[in-house]
Amino acid sequence: MKLLLKHLALGLAAAASLAVLPLHAQQNNDKPLRIVVPFAPGGAQDVIARYLGAKLTEKLGGSVIVDNKAGAGGILAADAVAKATDSATVLLATGGAITVAPHLQAKLPYDPVHDLAPVALVGDTPMTVAVRTESPYKTLADVLRDAKAKPGQVTYASTGNGTVSHLTGALLAQAGGVNLLHVPYRGAAPALTDLLGGQVALIVTSAASIEPMVASGKARVLGTFSRAALPSLGTPPTVAEATGLAGMDVPVWVGVMAPARMPAASVEKLSAALVEVCNLPETKQRFAQLGAVNTCGGGAALAKVISEDSQRWAKVIKQGGIKVD
């Protein structure tokens, strides 16, 4: 936070003289702004990055390119940005490499606190807990009651060991005082296939992943790990409403981070532009189509979310004795 405040203070002092220049000119180079995405093309985060890139091109001048660098749960992308030296590279950041990996990996090639600077908070891609339509579970209360009666026998699918999907399911189990059997998959698609086939009882996955199954009548969402209901899913209750448990509002945040060495004035300029884009009515509409919610804020807002998220997952991982291969 001290480093963030220093960046912001310097940025405010310099912003007025730089306001009319495109971002790449402020950075004294001719390179386009590069947004590194830690996922393959086509997913919700990739679409968000490309949308933001197009809007930033309009607002900042100069070109913006999206560079997909998938692998190692986002660590490859975060490391590339942390080590970038061109002052024109930023990361479309999510919790995996920033708030989860530090608690699961003995050693990372970068320090998410000191090597990366928060620029802006732009969205939330909420997690859900769902069942196939034919499931006997009608509510989350049914699930917790059955799980207490049959410890370790009620299964939930996740999108992979050590992912936010896995940890969110673990959080639910820990808060509810039950033992759910975790079944990890390599992504949402195979997990959904087994859910619909009856091989697993529950799935914890993003609203974007489950929405097509809900729309086709193949799945039902029992609860959303969000502060408010999500109309695109048929307005199921939030997990907090469905269970009465506290701490079930779990933002699966999307933000933009820059190398710590990026000039403070450039960070401030980019932050202001991103918040402006995030607040556009069309952004809200576009994000909703992706199962996301626009949650707009500058670097300080993102730093706060990162701090809270890191503390949450540190506790879940420690309590559950969770490890990755």
* Local structure of residue 27 (DSSP, 8 states): T
User: Is 50 exceeded by the pLDDT of residue 252?
Assistant: yes
Helix axes 2-18, 299-320, angle to 10 degrees: 150
C-alpha–C-alpha distance, residues 92 and 81, integer Å: 10
CB 159 within 8 A of CB 191: yes
C-alpha–C-alpha distance, residues 31 and 255, integer Å: 22
Complete edge-to-edge strand list for the sheet that includes strand 155-158:
181-184, 155-158, 202-206, 127-132, 219-224
Is 103 exposed, middle or buried, given 0-12, 13-18 or 19+ CB atoms closer than 10 A?
A: middle
User: Is 70 exceeded by the pLDDT of residue 29?
Assistant: no
pLDDT of residue 322: 95
Q: Is residue 281 classed as helix, strand or coil in its secondary structure?
A: helix
C-alpha–C-alpha distance, residues 129 and 113, integer Å: 31
Instruction: For residue 87, give both structure tokens.
Output: 């002052």
Q: E strands within 160-200?
A: 181-184
Q: What is the mean pLDDT of the chain?
A: 90
Query: Between residues 239 and 27, which one has the greater pLDDT?
Result: 239
* Local structure of residue 229 (DSSP, 8 states): -
User: Is 90 exceeded by the pLDDT of residue 282?
Assistant: yes
C-alpha–C-alpha distance, residues 212 and 218, integer Å: 9
CB atoms within 10 A of CB 114: 10
Query: Between residues 218 and 24, which one has the greater pLDDT?
Result: 218
Do strands 127-132 and 202-206 pair parallel, antiparallel, or not at all (unpaired)?
antiparallel
C-alpha–C-alpha distance, residues 222 and 146, integer Å: 15
Query: Between residues 220 and 2, which one has the greater pLDDT?
Result: 220
- Lowest mean pLDDT, pick from 36-50, 146-160, 169-183: 36-50
Give the CA distances from residue 258 to residues 64, 117, 223, 264, in Å, rounded to whole numbers and listed in that order.
15, 5, 34, 10
Backbone angles phi, psi at 248, to 5 degrees: -100, 5
Mean pLDDT to the nearest integer, 290-311: 96
User: Is 70 exceeded by the pLDDT of residue 5?
Assistant: no
Indicate the pLDDT class of residue 30, thresholds 50, 70 and 90.
Answer: low
* Local structure of residue 238 (DSSP, 8 states): B
Q: Which residues lie below 8 Å from residue 261, measured CB to CB, with a gap of 6+?
A: 85, 87
User: Is 70 exceeded by the pLDDT of residue 2?
Assistant: no
* Local structure of residue 237 (DSSP, 8 states): P
Mean pLDDT to the nearest integer, 101-115: 95
